[in-house]
Structure formats: C-alpha cells, structure tokens
Amino acid sequence: MQNPTFFLYDENTAESLRSEELAEFLKGAFAAPVEVREEFVGRHLGRWGEEERRGWLEELARRFAYLRVRDVNRENSFSDPLPMEVDVERRRLLNENRGSFGMAVDGFQFQACMRELLPVEERGLQHLHIIFTNRLLATWEADDRRYHLRTIILGQPAVISTSGLVEAPAKPREYYLIRQRLPDDELARVNLLRQFAGRFLEHSDARTNQVVKGYLMQAAFYLLFGERFCKDPDCRLFNAHWQEEMLHAQLRPEAGLCEKHEEMVEELRAKS
Ligand SMILES: [Zn+2]
C-alpha cells in the first residue's frame, strides 16, 4: 500500500506559522508526502458551483454561530444565533474578518462540519487532513462537568487551534494569583506579562511554529496509528495541561519522541 499523504490547511491567521517549513518537518518525520493547501472551507467549497457554494456558506455560518459555547458549565449550551452572530461567521468564512478568534465553538461538532466538506474520495486514511485555525475550540469534559479549551482535536480532519495553544494550557499558578490582585490597568497587565515573559506562549509568539511541530506529530500519530497522546512529559506527544509542560515537551533543544514512539516512526520509515 502506498504511503498516505498529509494535507495541511493554512488559513493564514497565525503570522508565526510557516506552513512550508511545517510540511518539510512532517515529511521528514514520517517519510510521507505532504501538500500545503489554502484555507479548508474555501478549498473544499471550490468544487461546487456558485449557487451551491453560497448555500453551503450560509449553512456553515449558521452552524458555527449556533455551535458557540455560551455557558462553560452547561453541556450543549447552544442556542439559535442572532443574525449579527451569523453575520460575523459569514464574514469570517468569506475571509473578510478572520482576525479575532471570538467565542469558543464546540470542537467535535466543528470537526464534524469540516469532515462533511471533504470529497468522498479524500475521506479515507490515504488522505490525512490537518487544519490550522485561530478559532478557539472547546470540548465538554464529563469528569468535572465543564467545557475546556483545546489545543488540538484529534481525528479526520485533525484541527490545531493556534489560539488554543495560547489560551488552553494553564499559565503558572503565581501568574493568576498576582493577576487577581492587579488593579484594572493596562500598564499593570503589560508589566505582569513582562515579568512572566517566556514562561507561556503569547499571541503572535515567534515560538509558535516550533510548538506546532509537536502538535502535528500528535495529529499524525492518531491518524496513522490511532495513538492518543503520551504520558511521558518529555515526549512531544505529551498532552500538556500547563504552558510550562507544553514548552518543556516542545521547545527543549533535544525535544523529541519517547523511546516507544520513536520506534513506531522508525518502523514506519523503514517500510517506506
Ligand atoms: Zn511518547
């Protein structure tokens, strides 16, 4: 059987993301062909005629507005969106305003919508799709009965949230303690960020590209081997809940895979 091909979709909202470099990385790591494509929705709606495409855009705008997580403590806290909310989503889909990441949407439902857009011939595991987005994605956690922001939604297509890398893993405890006591003042907030500089990822952080490589590996391991994350904090597949864990797993000069996962890719490379 031929090696599967990876498809990376870049919506161009994270300036520190260098998709060609990420493609090279993935290609080297898994000895698999990688193709960089433009933003996912635009790409896949491109095969429809004008009228159908417009119908799809309306439908997606409505669905994404509906899928906003309106109450983090209530499962499926969706409600019929206001026309204004649908309009924000429509403009986002038309590439008129992708700047802000806004409210989180339900990650699994978002992924399901994206999967529907894939052409039938690209749905199998010979085509491995990975989307980068600056949307915030959240999933319901049954253990503590609340929604949590996510860095990545594993599956087909895998979705990596670049805003999620900043917002989902928690910052150091001391950071929150100090922030609680801060006056409502922009300068104080800037100073606090400066005080903790380097200990967590910020928006437009130059280190994002390097961190994303680890998340690409997580997406690929799930698609290729059905492997979900790793318990070893030194492995790039580690499911970090803290910023410092994430930076440790992804940014050390020797950052890489644990022995077990390294063996799995070596075996794959040997076969190709
Ligand atoms: Zn591992």
- Which residues sit with Cβ closer than 5 angstroms to ligand 1, an ion? 230, 232, 235, 237, 258, 261
pLDDT of residue 271: 85
pLDDT of residue 184: 83
Whether residue 42 contacts residue 13, with contact meaning beta carbons closer than 8 Å, is answered with no
Q: How many CB atoms neighbour CB 148 within 10 A?
A: 16
Distance (Å) from CA 227 to ligand 1 centroid: 10
Q: Cα–Cα distances in Å, from 104 out to 184, 235, 250?
A: 24, 28, 25
d(CA 236, CA 240): 10
Distance (Å) from CA 240 to ligand 1 centroid: 12
Reduced to 3 states (helix: H, G, I; strand: E, B; else coil), residue 269 is helix
pLDDT of residue 1: 52
Residue pLDDT, tens place only, 205-228 = 999 999 999 999 999 999 999 999
One DSSP character per residue, 16-79 reads T--HHHHHHHHHHHH---EEEES-HHHHHHTTS-HHHHHHHHHHHHHHHHHTB---TTSTT---
Fill in the DSSP letter of residue 152: E
Whether residue 257 contacts residue 30, with contact meaning beta carbons closer than 8 Å, is answered with no
Q: How many CB atoms neighbour CB 84 within 10 A?
A: 8
d(CA 46, CA 117): 10
Distant-in-sequence, close-in-space partners of 111: CB < 8 Å, separation ≥ 6: 153, 155, 157, 159
SS3 for 210-232, per residue? HHHHHHHHHHHHHHHHCCCCECC
Distance (Å) from CA 220 to ligand 1 centroid: 13
pLDDT of residue 191: 92
Backbone angles phi, psi at 34, to 5 degrees: -135, 135
Distance (Å) from CA 129 to ligand 1 centroid: 22
Structure tokens given for 14? 């994270």
For residue 243, give the amino acid letter. Answer: Q
Mean pLDDT by 10 residues, the chain (272 residues): 86 88 96 95 93 96 96 92 93 79 92 97 95 96 95 98 96 93 88 92 94 97 96 98 97 96 94 82
pLDDT of residue 212: 97
Reduced to 3 states (helix: H, G, I; strand: E, B; else coil), residue 132 is strand
* Closest to 169 measured CA to CA, from 115, 129, 142, 205: 205
pLDDT of residue 96: 74
Distance (Å) from CA 169 to ligand 1 centroid: 19
The count of C-alpha atoms lying within 13 angstroms of the C-alpha of 71, restricted to the half-sphere facing its C-beta, is 8
Per CATH, domain 5-271 is 3.40.50.2020: no
